[in-house]
A = this chain, B = another copy of it.
Amino acid sequence: MQHFFTLQTTSGNARAGIIRTPHGPILTPVFMPVGTIGSVKAMSPHELEEGNAQIILGNTYHLYLRPGHELIREAGGLHRFISWQHPMLTDSGGFQVMSLAALRRITKEGVRFQSHIDGSYHLFTPESVIGIQEALGADIIMSFDECPPYPATREYVEKSLRLTLKWAARGKEAFRNQERQALFGIVQGGVYEDLREHSARKLMEMDFDGYSIGGLAVGESKPDMLRITAFMHDILPMDKPRYLMGVGTPADLLRNIANGVDMFDCVMPTRNARKGSIFTRYGKMIIKAARYKQDFKSIDPLCNCYTCRHFSRAYIRHLITMNEILGMRLTTIHSLYFYQELMQMARQAILENRYQQFMDEMLPLVDSMVE
């Protein structure tokens, strides 16, 4: 896609940029809420807009199985089907095939697997995954990858990587929709720097619109994750966006922005929120805790989200304790709002070339528990 990404400025290795899509621009660094099967859980599109989400993610594996990409094509694409007018990204399905599907058999052709829902047999190939994502019609799509589990031997990762590189080439070859979609290659290679470098250089030869860092946040240590993203920064091109898949906590985001990552997605803010674990600028808040029972302040008295403007900790605690849907909605609204605000603050700090200082101030806060 032409003029897809502009790097505006850097602060250390942290980057502020603009991604341009047919559904509007995205200011980076950006966090993408996850709309697994066509809905960011508990949220309406309207609430996502109010919460300043710029782009949301859909999962190719899930949407392929239900309701099916052909149905979504018939609906006019995923944007129309779910009534979301802003940018979207779909993943490759590689991670879900690894983590969810049963009896997966990897061949040169692709992956044959059984659905985690009904055990039916399916085949994902690099070409079919591009085809599915063209039907879904997201603005940013991923080439198919084999995502090694963690831990995996160097031999496994190396072999897997060779396959993923061949699949990337085949996917790129099959990709026809350059006018409307940007295609990212996924860097694999586990925690092995030489394999990561090989993966990145081969993908860069194929010239993708952006580069995803896959195969992290699968169980490795945080230092390993940060070591790899720092290493990737020196190799990946400056003029293409970098997307760290499936990451993470507020602290993970801040630290990986410092390593030059532009894009993130994670179910953590939404999934944790539904269980009453809420992210705030003062740390994590476990709203079911007894000390919030008679606490009539909002989650964050300085926050401007719908939840904090209208509802008390005591009420939200009551709702979450009672398993009321509204409770899950209100905690999700706040956590997503906070994630977006954190990204906006990070971007501002980069634009003002004070990212390191910003991060040093924020980390002790977001890494703690609310008193």
State the A residues within 8 Å of B (CB): 37-39, 41-46, 66-67, 71, 74-76, 81-83, 293-294, 296, 306, 310-312, 314-315, 318-319, 321-322, 324-330
Chain B residue contacts of A75, Cβ below 8 A: 296, 312, 314-315
Chain B residue contacts of A45, Cβ below 8 A: 310
**In-complex Cβ contact of A314 among B41, B81, B315, B326 (8 A):** B81
> A39-B324, A325-B329 provided; 14 other pairs, C-beta below 8 A?
A37-B318, A38-B315, A39-B319, A41-B325, A42-B326, A43-B326, A45-B310, A46-B306, A74-B294, A75-B314, A76-B296, A82-B315, A83-B310, A329-B329
Q: In the complex, A321 Cα to B65 Cα: how many Å? A: 13
A46, chain B: closest CB distance, angstroms: 7
User: 22 A–B contact pairs at CB < 8 A?
Assistant: A37-B318, A39-B319, A39-B324, A39-B327, A41-B324, A41-B325, A42-B325, A42-B326, A44-B306, A44-B330, A46-B306, A66-B318, A71-B294, A71-B314, A75-B296, A75-B312, A75-B314, A81-B314, A82-B315, A83-B315, A325-B328, A329-B329
Chain B residue contacts of A43, Cβ below 8 A: 326
A312 to B, closest residue via Cβ: B75
What are the 8 tightest A-B residue pairs by CB atom distance, in nearest-first order?
A: A39-B326, A83-B310, A42-B325, A67-B318, A39-B324, A37-B322, A81-B315, A325-B325
Chain B residue contacts of A38, Cβ below 8 A: 315, 318-319, 324
Residue contact B312 to A81, C-beta cutoff 8 Å: yes
A332 to B, closest residue via Cβ: B325
Chain B residue contacts of A325, Cβ below 8 A: 39, 41-42, 325, 328-329
A295, chain B: closest CB distance, angstroms: 10
Q: In the complex, A71 Cα to B322 Cα: how many Å? A: 15
Q: In the complex, A319 Cα to B36 Cα: how many Å? A: 11
Q: In the complex, A259 Cα to B41 Cα: how many Å? A: 44
A39 to B, closest residue via Cβ: B326
Residue contact B321 to A66, C-beta cutoff 8 Å: yes
Chain B residue contacts of A293, Cβ below 8 A: 67, 71
Q: In the complex, A173 Cα to B329 Cα: how many Å? A: 42
Chain B residue contacts of A296, Cβ below 8 A: 74-76
Whether A326 touches B44, Cβ cut-off 8 Å, given contacts A315-B38, A315-B75, A318-B38, is yes
A327, chain B: closest CB distance, angstroms: 8
A329 to B, closest residue via Cβ: B44
**In-complex Cβ contact of A37 among B37, B66, B67, B324 (8 A):** B324
Q: In the complex, A310 Cα to B75 Cα: how many Å? A: 13
